[in-house]
Homo-oligomer: A and B are copies of this chain.
Amino acid sequence: MDFVGSHILSIDQFDRSDIEKIFAVADRMEPYALRRKKTRVLEGAILGNMFFEPSTRTRLSFGAAFNLLGGQVRETTGFASSALVKGESLFDTARVISGYSDIICMRHPESGSVAEFSQASRVPVINGGDGSNEHPTQALLDLYTIKRELVDRGAGIDGLKIAMIGDLKYGRTVHSLSQLLGLYKDVEIYLVSPKELRMPDYIEERLRKAGHRLVVTESLEEGINNAQIVYSTRIQEERFKSTEEADLYRGRFRINQAIYTANCQPNTVIMHPLPRDSRAEANELDGDLDANPNLAIFRQADNGVLVRMALFALILKVDHLLEKYEREVSWFTRK
């Protein structure tokens, strides 16, 4: 695809070479994010960071990414303060708001709303999550994290062995990640979930068509003992008939250091879309994993900034100018 001036609405837009292009630019963003130097390439540009649904970390990540390229951020958070409640159409909102910025990131609780908005927008729009539908930068940062973690371990995405654990039926992140994996070769995917929360058929089929090998199981141990990447997601109580049933599954899919040591290959990478629920009853990823260098969940969050910087640079066509606008960092940094 041609990124320049484009909307980013769905991961369906990308083929493998697009993904690789984004990742190559993201790699070049790391020195700026780590503050080894800074770039002023978007000085004077304005991001409209339109969060019609709260999501602090995603909002901050997009905003910081734009600031790191030298740009300014105008924001809105929440629905109440919006003209949308007075009966304004997304068309009108888009026509007006796109006059206030050079590029827009938009999050909205309704599926399809961002695509509808983008049709009327006069500037490029990035989907920051539209309900249960799409959150393309999350999928990109997940895959980018897999790539980086594997490269550090001498491997690549082709030939990947990954376990996805938890709520595979409603989990938007595992759906999107699966779809992106369809662009790669020879992937082995362990789908670990309660029967009620099994991965939807259409996604399983797509993965099989791509030539990937699927193992569907309710056993955590079977899922993780052969994987290079363990992608854990949350199981929510409201998906079950009873609290007891939910607790049963959550207890079985919990990962802590002892379970990791007993079942995983050395250097198995642990991922999670965050936020992680750290309350005792959550039974997701225990705190004793924090000392494990293979816990990649915070590197995931950091990678989100790099991927978003890359998209901004590609859409606004400044990826070739990063170095031209480079400056020394004058302040203390330990990053």
Chain A residues packing against B (C-beta within 8 Å)? 4-5, 33, 35, 38, 40-46, 48, 54-57, 59-61, 63-64, 67-68, 70, 72-74, 76-78, 80-83, 86-89, 91-92, 95-97, 99-102, 122-123, 274-279, 282, 287, 290, 297-298, 301-302, 305, 315-318, 321, 325, 327, 329-335
Known: A91-B290, A332-B317. A46 touches B74 (CB 8 A): no
Copies of this chain, tallied across the complex: 3
**Is A279 touching B87 in the complex (CB atoms < 8 A)?**
yes
Contact partners of A99 in chain B: CB under 8 A: 33, 298, 301-302, 305
Contact partners of A45 in chain B: CB under 8 A: 331
Name the residue of chain B whose CB is nearest to the CB of A314.
B332
Supplied contacts A46-B68, A64-B100, 20 more A-B pairs, CB within 8 Å = A40-B43, A42-B330, A42-B331, A44-B327, A44-B329, A48-B60, A59-B76, A63-B100, A64-B74, A67-B72, A72-B73, A73-B74, A87-B277, A87-B278, A92-B275, A92-B276, A96-B301, A102-B331, A318-B330, A318-B332
Name the residue of chain B whose CB is nearest to the CB of A303.
B99
Could you pull out 30 A-B pairs where Cβ atoms are within 8 angstroms?
Answer: A38-B43, A40-B43, A43-B327, A44-B67, A44-B68, A44-B327, A46-B67, A48-B60, A54-B80, A56-B76, A56-B83, A57-B83, A57-B96, A60-B76, A72-B73, A77-B81, A83-B274, A86-B275, A87-B279, A87-B282, A89-B276, A91-B278, A91-B287, A91-B290, A96-B301, A102-B333, A318-B331, A318-B332, A321-B330, A325-B330
**Is B83 touching A81 in the complex (CB atoms < 8 A)?**
no
Nearest 9 A-B pairs (CB), nearest first?
Answer: A54-B81, A87-B277, A83-B275, A89-B278, A88-B275, A317-B332, A316-B331, A64-B100, A38-B44
Name the residue of chain B whose CB is nearest to the CB of A94.
B298
Contact partners of A42 in chain B: CB under 8 A: 330-331
**Is A274 touching B92 in the complex (CB atoms < 8 A)?**
yes
Task: Specify which of A38, A86, A282 lies most central, judged by the most chain B CB atoms within 10 Å of its CB.
Answer: A86
Contact partners of A54 in chain B: CB under 8 A: 80-81
**Is A101 touching B64 in the complex (CB atoms < 8 A)?**
yes
From B72, B77, B97, contact of A57 by CB (8 A): B97
